[in-house]
Homo-oligomer: A and B are copies of this chain.
Amino acid sequence: MYKVLVVSALSQELNIIKSEIKKLSLRNIKVSFLSTGMGNYNMILNLTRFLEKNYFDLVINIGVCGYKNDFSINRQKANSLFIQIGRIFNLSNSKELIIPQIINFGNIESIACSEKPVFDSLELSDEDFVDMESYGFEMVCNSFSISRILLKIPVDKVGSETNNFDFKKAEESLRNNINYKELFFEIHKYIDEHLKTGKGKYKIHDDIFDTYSQSFNFTFSQKEIFKKLYYRYISLVNSDFSVFYEANKNMDKKKFLKKLEKGLEKYLVR
């Protein structure tokens, strides 16, 4: 039996998700649920206390998030029913976390994380989405070395809807925007391919990493740097990584990594 924990900030969010997951027939997976309270501080405190007392193979954070009012957001993003978080930018300490991806499920996006509700989209700088718990969630999972998935559903337009938060809309989105059957199909696949076989945890893009690594003959530490930059790229840039690779594959490997890092800087919040 594999143990999966679903974490949300609010019990209202969790109840909806719980009722949807309870409808599924899951083979060899036991799902538990935890609501932590709002904000990174509560997320870190309560998730840590829970994980110290209970073992899980996989933790999923599902919740609603805000999105930018003005459409710097491209068409694909604007139509996102949900997003899979690949990068978090914390607005309080200006630090970035990159999340190792274990399933291919939704569009991988970057999100800003704030300690208080954001009412003005200018505070988000170049970020298109904002929530209040993703940073703490990722920090705790990283500390416990637990496989994790972060899914956010854009519900309130920052600047116009955050003030009058529509709980009914949020509930409906939590119920309908994520196909929970498909999500657990992906989780089953991950368990079969990685946890069962003991092939290691964070393997989802390993074939990609291997391909580029071999092409450049990266050292171990260069490969680790490349992984972070790769996830930053797919979170921030709305185009296929192979485009960047094809245009730069004849460069020296150090210069390639440098160019990738430099090129991403214009996407970073300052």
| Chain A interface residues (CB < 8 Å from chain B) | 39-41, 44-45, 48-49, 52-53, 90, 92-94, 115-116, 135-136, 139-140, 143
Contacts and interface: CB of A to CB of B under 8 A. Distances in A.
A124 to B, nearest CB: 16
A91 to B, nearest CB: 8
Contact of A45 (B39, B53, B116, B143): B143
Given A48-B48, A52-B52, A41 B115 contact: no
Contacts of A143: 45, 49
Given A41-B44, A41-B136, 8 more contacts: A41-B135, A44-B45, A45-B139, A45-B140, A48-B49, A49-B52, A49-B143, A115-B115
Contacts of A136: 41
Nearest to A39: B93
In this complex, the member of A92, A135, A139 whose beta carbon has the largest number of chain B beta carbons within 10 angstroms is A92
A41 B47 CA distance: 13
Contacts of A140: 45
23 contacts: A39-B93, A40-B41, A41-B44, A41-B93, A41-B139, A44-B44, A44-B45, A44-B48, A45-B48, A45-B139, A45-B140, A45-B143, A48-B49, A48-B52, A49-B52, A52-B53, A90-B115, A92-B92, A92-B115, A93-B115, A93-B116, A94-B116, A115-B115
